[in-house]
């Protein structure tokens, strides 16, 4: 008679290769665990058709870092430039400026300026000099008499970028103008009311882009020769 011996609790591990895939069956304490299929193994369904293949894993790379957009930058490295503001933005600023004069509002005038704005021919004097000049003019003249008048024809407004100035057929670059700023000349249709001179012939401005609008970095006036 052949005698059999019950497996001991300390005996456990059988490894087999099944259907070309490595399947591990672990037997411990007399109980076996369910077989685990390797990721690449194909197991047939009850209908005999193989299950749909899972797509291979894809390594996702983080998007490249994009520098902050600026209006002007040297031509080297990776830069992001903002879309230039067109003539509408210049005309909107000029309209707001003339409206502030007509309303005799110093606060409205100052709301259109940069923090470092100054007189056109002396930007280094700073915002204080510009404020005092405007305040004195509002005290001395009745700009409210201009209300309702067409002070400028938009099509006559001229503008030049920094790099466009200084050529043989272009105006000289204003003192203190910086790359990225815009030089604007505004010929006025009305400069006097009842003999009182309120403006020179042209308003001249240096504009700087701030977000989606222009602000005045320098303000001045000039008479045509």
pLDDT in tens, the chain (225 residues): 444 454 444 444 444 344 444 433 333 344 444 444 544 444 444 556 666 666 666 656 665 555 554 444 454 555 444 556 789 999 999 999 999 999 999 999 999 999 999 999 999 899 999 999 999 999 999 999 999 999 999 999 999 999 999 888 899 999 899 999 999 999 999 999 999 999 999 999 999 999 889 999 999 999 976
Q: Is residue 35 part of a domain?
A: no
Q: Is residue 42 part of a domain?
A: no
Q: State the pLDDT at residue 224.
A: 75
Give the CATH number, domain containing residue 122: 3.10.450
Could you tell me if 128 and 182 are in contact, meaning their C-beta atoms sit under 8 angstroms apart?
Answer: no
**Domain housing 151:** 84-222
Phi, psi of 137 (to 5 degrees): -65, -40
Q: State the pLDDT at residue 7.
A: 47
Q: Is residue 167 part of a domain?
A: yes
Measured distance CA(49)–CA(53) in Å, rounded: 12
Torsion on CA atoms 203, 154, 195, 111, rounded to nearest 10: -50
Q: Is residue 218 part of a domain?
A: yes
Q: Is residue 24 part of a domain?
A: no
- Diameter of the chain measured on Cα atoms: 139
Residue with tokens 């409205």: 108
Is residue 7 helix, strand or coil? Answer: coil
Q: Which two tokens stand for residue 167?
A: 């050529």
Q: Is residue 1 part of a domain?
A: no
Q: Is residue 156 part of a domain?
A: yes
Neighbours of 117 (CB within 10 A): 22
Q: State the pLDDT at residue 62.
A: 60
Q: State the pLDDT at residue 86.
A: 83
Q: Which residues contact 85 (CB under 8 A, 6 or more apart)?
A: 209, 212, 213, 214
Burial class (CB in 10 A: 0-12, 13-18, 19+), 194: exposed
Please state the pTM of the whole predicted model: 0.64
Q: How many structural domains does the chain have?
A: 1
Residue with tokens 């272009």: 170
Q: State the pLDDT at residue 209.
A: 95
Q: Is residue 4 part of a domain?
A: no
């Amino acid at each position: 008679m052949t005698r059999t011996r019950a497996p001991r609790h300390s005996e456990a591990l059988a490894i087999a290769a099944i259907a070309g895939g490595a399947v591990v069956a672990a037997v411990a304490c007399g109980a076996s665990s369910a077989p685990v299929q390797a990721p690449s193994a194909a197991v047939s369904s009850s209908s005999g058709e193989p299950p749909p293949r899972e797509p291979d894993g894809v390594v996702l790379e983080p998007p490249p870092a994009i520098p902050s957009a600026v209006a002007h930058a040297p031509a080297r490295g990776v830069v992001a430039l903002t879309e230039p503001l067109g003539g509408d933005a210049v005309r909107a600023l000029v309209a707001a400026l003339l409206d502030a004069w007509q309303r005799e509002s110093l606060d409205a005038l100052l709301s259109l300026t940069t923090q470092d704005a100054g007189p056109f021919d002396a930007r280094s004097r700073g915002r204080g000099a510009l404020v005092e000049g405007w305040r004195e003019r509002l005290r001395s003249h009745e700009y409210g008499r201009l209300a309702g008048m067409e002070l400028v024809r938009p099509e006559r407004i001229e503008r030049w970028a920094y790099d466009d100035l200084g050529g043989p057929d272009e105006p000289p670059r204003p003192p203190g103008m910086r790359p990225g700023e815009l030089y604007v000349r505004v010929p006025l249709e009305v400069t006097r009311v009842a003999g009182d001179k309120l403006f020179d012939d042209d308003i001249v401005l240096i504009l700087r882009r701030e977000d989606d609008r222009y602000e005045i970095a320098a303000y001045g006036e000039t008479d045509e020769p």
